[in-house]
Amino acid sequence: MFFTCGPNEAMVVSGFCRSPPVMVAGGRVFVLPCIQQIQRISLNTLTLNVKSEKVYTRHGVPISVTGIAQVKIQGQNKEMLAAACQMFLGKTEAEIAHIALETLEGHQRAIMAHMTVEEIYKDRQKFSEQVFKVASSDLVNMGISVVSYTLKDIHDDQDYLHSLGKARTAQVQKDARIGEAEAKRDAGIREAKAKQEKVSAQYLSEIEMAKAQRDYELKKAAYDIEVNTRRAQADLAYQLQVAKTKQQIEEQRVQVQVVERAQQVAVQEQEIARREKELEARVRKPAEAERYKLEHLAAAEKSQLIMQAEAEAESVRMRGEAEAFAIGARARAEAEQMAKKAEAFQLYQEAAQLDMLLEKLPQVAEEISGPLTSANKITLVSSGSGAMGAAKVTGEVMDILSHLPESMERLTGVSISQVNHKPLRTA
């Protein structure tokens, strides 16, 4: 006899008693036989890592598969619990897991052998369902139920799966390119149709818009004519009224200007009268007094100037008469002197001429030597013979003076050397 003591453990009691005692606890009735031995079995869920290394598939390709299985002993089913007790009573949880793992791996290898690599790789759900189904039917007889089974990994050492993936990838890429090209083609066709429909619709819309615009322009033109006519009438009326108003304003402004002008004239007249009186008081009377004063002063100054002029004229006249008398006396003296000289010239003739020449010679010599006295620098060029320096200058001057009698003779016709050797002749 056995019974469950908890959700994760089953306790089995074995022994015999003719009248077993009865115990009631917590609403439950326990029949206790004569206890000889008590054994426990785990009801925990076990996770198994099912590995099948290098199993040959139906086409002879070795692959390795790893699956994950969840198993447990069903404590709610008395038949399965009894079968589990018969199979695993006295075994540990690890031993129970090992037995279940070996069973699952065997079924997993068997199913792998009956399927191709492509079937396992492409349809993992089918492979998992077959392993789950076959293993469950076998393990249930041991009191173990398979909670779940999942294919975790598939791999091989021959790169078969990799090559299969390449081929599939190439096929997928090919299909993708074809699908893309077809999609682009269909899209281009649809786009062209859409554009055509759009252009047609646009043209129809533009035609309708043009018709509507035409109708609008016609109506607007008619309305504009009426509006412009009314506006022109209103503008003319407004301008007429403005002109009338301006005319009235101008008339009033002219009237105001006339009044202002009249007032200004009156003010100016008053100002002129005031200024005339002020001029009379400030300018005219003082001016007349000053004029009277200046007239008398001018008359007195005029009389003084006339008297001064008459005095100066008398003085000038007397001075002129004195100077005339002096000039006449001097002229008469010079005339008498010249007459006497003439008589002397007639008496002495050549001697008088010689006396005049000798009297003028110093003046001629002074005129000849004058340029030398005003010269700042004299440069003498000598041929190497004769006097040098200042003696040369003196010699040159003397040489010039030695030729003076000849020059006088050519100018006057009188020879000084001949006069010196001739006896004086008297008249």
- Taking only the tens place, the pLDDT of each residue in 315-333 is 888 888 888 888 888 888 8
Q: What confidence tens digit (pLDDT) does each residue in 235-284 have?
A: 888 888 888 888 889 888 888 888 888 888 888 888 888 888 887 777 77
Residue 150, strand partner residues: 68
Report the C-alpha dihedral over residues 242, 243, 248, 253, rounded to 10 degrees: 100
In a domain? residue 180: no
What value does the mean pLDDT of the chain take? Answer: 77
Mean pLDDT value of segment 362-374: 71
88, part of any domain: yes
186-200, 240-254, 269-283, 407-421: range with lowest mean pLDDT = 407-421
Statement to judge: residues 17 and 51 lie in one domain: no
Which has the higher per-residue pLDDT, 23 or 202? 202
Question: How much is the pLDDT for 413?
Answer: 66
Q: What is the pLDDT of residue 81?
A: 81
- Is the same domain home to 59 and 100? yes
Please report, for the domain that includes residue 54, its CATH number: 3.30.479.30
What b/e string do you get for 44-62 counting C-beta neighbours within 10 Å, with b at 16 or more?
eebebebebeebebeeebe
**20-39 pLDDT tens trace:** 554 444 555 455 555 556 66
State which residues form the domain around 110.
Answer: 46-158
Q: Exposed, middle or buried, 342 (CB in 10 Å: 0-12/13-18/19+)?
A: exposed
Higher pLDDT, 77 or 348: 77
55 is a domain residue: yes
| 227 within domain boundaries | no
Give residue-wise pLDDT tens across range 62-99. Answer: 888 888 888 888 777 788 888 778 777 777 888 888 88
Q: Which amino acid is at 281?
A: A
Structural domain contains residue 9 = yes
How far apart are the C-alpha atoms of 178 and 180, rounded to whole Å?
A: 5
51 and 100 both lie in a single domain: yes
Total structural domains within the chain:
2
362 Cβ contact partners less than 8 Å away, ≥ 6 residues apart: none
- pTM: predicted TM-score of the whole model, two decimal places: 0.34
Residue 191 lies in a domain: no
Residue 145 lies in a domain: yes
On the question of pLDDT at 147 being above 70, the answer is yes
**Can you list the positions of beta strands (E) in 43-162?**
46-56, 62-73, 144-155
Q: Which of residues 335 and 380 earns the better pLDDT score?
A: 335
Give a yes or no: residue 3 inside a domain: yes
